[in-house]
Structure 1
Amino acid sequence: MTNSQRLETVRTHVRQWLADHCDQYAESIRNGEPSKITESIVIRDEHYCGRCFSSDQFRALWFIEEDELKFLNDTGVVAVFRGEEIGAESESDDHQINVIKIGTHPGTSDEHDRHDIAAEQDAADEQSSSDDQDVRRAA
């Protein structure tokens, strides 16, 4: 599967999960209104990390390297999908894409979101680093 195909699978999974768990999103679909999901590119230390999808009630973070999709609300993580758990038929939609550079431009209105994303990525980086050390020791 190419990266663009995997991204489309993630988008489809996000839309389906929101339709199942977000009343406002499901209502807009039933009324034939356009979906109200924003999609942003997540960049950390000048490297592409994945995507962030936001709706009125939830935010979803997909980390490409870990192939992990996390759904969050105001209280924290509410669902996590990994690897093959992220799957649905692909469908195409027009998407508006924004770039978020994590940890830059403090004091902006998106500062809270950047820190949440940075915390998620820091945890993933620590796990990846720990895994790398275990592999080196085993070798």
Structure 2
Amino acid sequence: MSHQNLAEFMTRSTPVEKIRKVVAAQLGAFGAQQVESLSESLLIRNGLFCGRRFQCDSYEVVWFLEEDEIKYFSPCGELLKCSSAISAIHEYESVAADEPQESHQSRRAA
């Protein structure tokens, strides 16, 4: 494995890491504070792993693995958003990919 391939491999995120980033970004957009200190629990149903629950600043997020759903709940328990985990990852990655280009373009314009 070349150094470049090794570097790419080491910087790739696992699906769970990507979901954590997606959840933190969305909670930040909802107004949650200290999203970097997201707590996480595994969900077990009938002895089988079925998802994860994230908590931050009284917000709760549940990622249902089999259903491929992420549900965001307000501190009052109101459903704020429901999305496919795969589409949420793609949306997050496309926004993240655009950010450096926007910064670079705004520097050129200045």
Normalised-by-shorter TM-score class: 0.5 to 0.7
Determine the structure 2 residue equivalent to 1:19. Answer: 28
Determine the structure 2 residue equivalent to 1:5. Answer: 14
Moved >3 Å (runs of 4+): none
State the shift of 1:83 in Å.
4.1
State the shift of 1:84 in Å.
3.1
SS at match of 2:53: strand
Q: Mind listing any 5+ residue stretches in structure 1 that lack a counterpart?
A: 27-34, 90-139
State the shift of 1:23 in Å.
4.3
Per-residue Cα deviation, 1:55-113 (whole angstroms, up to 9, x for no partner): 11310000111110000121321101114322134xxxxxxxxxxxxxxxxxxxxxxxx
Q: Mark the CA change 1:64 to 1:25 in structure 2 (over 3 Å): closer, same or farther.
A: same
Determine the structure 2 residue equivalent to 1:78. Answer: 80
Q: TM-score, normalised by structure 2?
A: 0.62
Q: Residue type matched to 1:37 in 2? A: L
Return the structure number with greater helix share.
2
Q: TM-score, normalised by structure 1?
A: 0.50
Q: Mind listing any 5+ residue stretches in structure 2 that lack a counterpart?
A: 1-12, 94-110
Task: Measure the CA separation in 1 of the matches of 2:42 and 2:77.
Answer: 23
Q: Mark the CA change 1:86 to 1:58 in structure 2 (over 3 Å): closer, same or farther.
A: same
Which structure ranks higher in relative contact order (CA pairs < 8 Å, sequence separation ≥ 6)? Answer: 1
The sequence identity of aligned pairs, in percent, is: 29
Determine the structure 2 residue equivalent to 1:110. Answer: none
